[in-house]
Chain A
């Protein structure tokens, strides 16, 4: 008790404590997320350098970095990333818009739901790669078929989340609108729209994740550019460093694009956010 009291009065202690609090407030979350990748990196480094796993199978982190830097240096890396991003972008926009329109229609109208939903659910059960031959036949072997495949991937999570979100809108909330004489526009603006945004965002985020999955599928099947192509190229030419490098780039860029959606959605989710911070606060206390 005495010692604690002394330390407590110590200026150094106070400084350390305020630093610690700053650290806790600002950096703890992202830093915790970095711990696991760092551990994996260390294990990887250990396995590769000691040649526990043969170097022709598992290159060292240095070699992977070197491979990426070489590509970056001659400018090809940027164009590979750009082409992959473009494919995901168009697929995301196309699939996202189609899913949003259909999700709203089937969510709002029981008739349209009965008309469309069984078919959409059946299509959802088709394995993604099964679309490939058809899309190549329809859209050719170049960009369009790839974008179409990615759109399919994006479509389903957005559609399902949005439809369920709309169906779950509380009738009691609509009664509040009625008793206060809100017109249709006001009801949409103040009740329907904000009520479904969280589900929509959730759908968009999982849609984007599937979009990234499908872009790899599309590029693995046949492409002359893109991150997926780099992987195939690495496989053909026996360069595992290139494969691993592309894989890491996929992870980083995928995470960044997800973060982008999350950040742009944040202002609309403040009311939920406040719950998160409240719970966080309670946990910290």
Chain B
């Protein structure tokens, strides 16, 4: 169980403070797969970065299985919009980055196992420059998975990919989620992605201008059946999704 309790994040800029998140509360069950949606700038990335330990919260706490999380840990993996592979390391060494403290033998076993999982056997020696966008993102996923995390955070991981590669990876991530019993929290702007992949869609709403307003999170529990009826209009009204992706629904 991932517990997000009373999380606020105030960025202190030179002139004025920006409240990215205000008193956000959220419970996420083990082995859930969740889509986080919302207008850009509403704090989705910030929330993910706080869960991942990259950013310190101004107030509140995050607990994973009743343990407070303050810094990055091997229990939580993160994949960004860009693959962030080191261009000077080949695929093998890029994945090795996240298990540097293990011995060579273990590394070898784990890396080849993980590469197999993401469908990139025989690619160990390739340089990042030689990978397609989809392959590079698979390597980034492998780098997160090789640490055997319980929670996987995905910040718009497919948004830079063409639609064919995207659909392909959706399928693949769903399989990984099922076989590894992961908890996945995914930020997306694509309504197809959100409905087809997730158990729950969470709509994040910006904290209001006044200080007492908090970050609101609207829950859509069963997106595949629910979406077309009640909450669908609300989503469009909020113009959370890209127009193009709504038309194809």
Contact = CB atoms under 8 A, between A and B. Distances in A.
Interface stretch (B5-13, B80-88, B112-120): B80-88
- Which of the listed residues A173, A176, A195, A278 has the most CB atoms from chain B within 10 Å of its own CB? A176
Interface stretch (B70-78, B197-205, B237-245): B70-78
Interface centre among B53, B71, B74, B88 (most CB of A within 10 A): B88
Contacts of B87: 271-272
Contact of B72 (A178, A195, A272): A178
Contacts of A275: 127, 129
A130 interface: no
A223 interface: no
Interface residues of A, number: 21
B52 A179 contact: yes
Interface stretch (A2-10, A60-68, A186-194): A186-194
A278 B86 contact: no
Interface string B47-87: 00000111000000000000000011110011010101011
Contacts of A186: 100
Interface string A273-285: 0110010000000
Interface residues of B, number: 27
Contact of A178 (B54, B74, B89, B143): B54
B72 A278 contact: no
Contacts of A173: 84, 86
Contacts of B129: 271, 274-275, 278
Contacts of B147: 180
A181 interface: yes
Among A175, A180, A186, A274, residue most surrounded by chain B Cβ atoms (within 10 Å): A180
**Considering residues A179, A181, A191, A275, which has the most beta carbons from chain B within 10 angstroms of its beta carbon?**
A179
A226 B246 CA distance: 77
A271 B127 contact: yes
A181 B73 contact: yes
B146 to A, nearest CB: 10
B2 interface: no
Nearest to A268: B88
Interface string B86-106: 111110010001101000000
B121 interface: no
B143 to A, nearest CB: 8
Contact of B88 (A176, A177, A182, A195): A195
A11 interface: no
A178 B53 CA distance: 9
Given A172-B82, A179-B54, A179-B72, A274 B88 contact: no
B130 interface: yes
Interface string A148-192: 000000000000000000000000110111111110001000110
Contacts of B143: 180
A176 B74 CA distance: 13
Contacts of A190: 86, 89, 93, 97, 100
Contacts of A181: 71-74
A180 B127 contact: no
A182 B130 contact: no
Given A172-B82, A173-B84, A179 B100 contact: no
A220 B218 CA distance: 79
Nearest to B94: A176
A151 B52 CA distance: 48
A168 to B, nearest CB: 13
Nearest to A182: B100
Contacts of B82: 172
Contacts of B130: 274, 278
Interface in B198-240: none
A175 B98 contact: no
9 closest A-B pairs by beta carbon, nearest first, are: A180-B98, A194-B88, A271-B88, A179-B72, A274-B127, A275-B129, A176-B84, A271-B127, A179-B78
Interface of A: 172-173, 175-182, 186, 190-191, 194-195, 197, 271-272, 274-275, 278
